[in-house]
Homo-oligomer: A and B are copies of this chain.
Amino acid sequence: MSAPFILVNLKTYKEGMGNRAHQIATAAQLVSRETGALIGIAPGYIDLHPLCHHFAVPVYAQHVDGCAPGANTGHVTVDAIKLAGAAGSLINHSERRLTLADIESSVRALQSQKLSSVICSNNEMTSAGAAALEPDYVAIEPPELIGSGISVSKANPDIIRRSVSIVQKVNPKVKVLTGAGIQSGECVKIAVDLGTDGVLLASSVVKAVDPVTILRELVSKL
């Protein structure tokens, strides 16, 4: 099995933009090198290109539109993020929900450019629906726990277990991430022990005074 994937979503936090995004990327690169952990970051679009070019960590878009290049204003195509150097994209985050048709077209567009796709889901059944679209990852995040400070690993291990099981059944090639409230090495370890391939997290890293310390803590029990 490959190393668990720790994907840090910088959202539009003030503490995740510009210089501060560079600082988090620096921390991700450092802790990856120290520990062998696979740590990626998902910055805003403006920071995407510079981070891709200055750091040897996987950089993801937070959202991508599946539409082809053309007459689409305010959209972000897979071509655009590929050109920027992105490794992949989140799709259907709870703060940016898409239609089923748009989720699918985003996955196809990413695959056609050999980029990685992470579909966010909200419960075990939508995890199954997402897995049937053949993304690289499904990231299950119970919406009520996002940003709550309560870890899904501890509050609802059953939803993780059932999501892993149903995703396995629908498509065993699809990996599972878990998110919502992840904030310690113990949360990450529980998530991995429950059968997931990593975690999606945001505020606990982005708002940390020292991103190196929290990233070391997150991978400490692996």
Chain A residues in contact with chain B, CB under 8 A?
A: 9, 11-14, 17-18, 42, 44-46, 48-50, 61-63, 65, 67, 69-77, 79-81, 83-84, 90, 92-104, 107-108, 121-123, 125-126, 128-134, 146-147, 170, 202-203
Docked pose: A76 CA to B61 CA in angstroms: 12
Q: Which residues of B contact A14 (CB under 8 A)?
A: 69-70, 79
| Residue among B72, B107, B132 making CB contact with A11, cutoff 8 Å | B72
Q: Which residues of B contact A50 (CB under 8 A)?
A: 49
| A73/B99 in contact, CB under 8 A | no
Q: Which residues of B contact A170 (CB under 8 A)?
A: 132, 170
| A70/B133 in contact, CB under 8 A | no
| B46/A72 in contact, CB under 8 A | no
A87 to chain B, nearest CB (A): 15
A177 to chain B, nearest CB (A): 14
| A71/B95 in contact, CB under 8 A | yes
Q: Which residues of B contact A75 (CB under 8 A)?
A: 12, 95-96
Q: Tell me whether A100 and B12 are in contact in the complex, defined as CB-CB below 8 angstroms, given that A17-B83, A73-B63 are known contacts.
A: no
| B96/A97 in contact, CB under 8 A | no
Q: Which residues of B contact A98 (CB under 8 A)?
A: 99-100
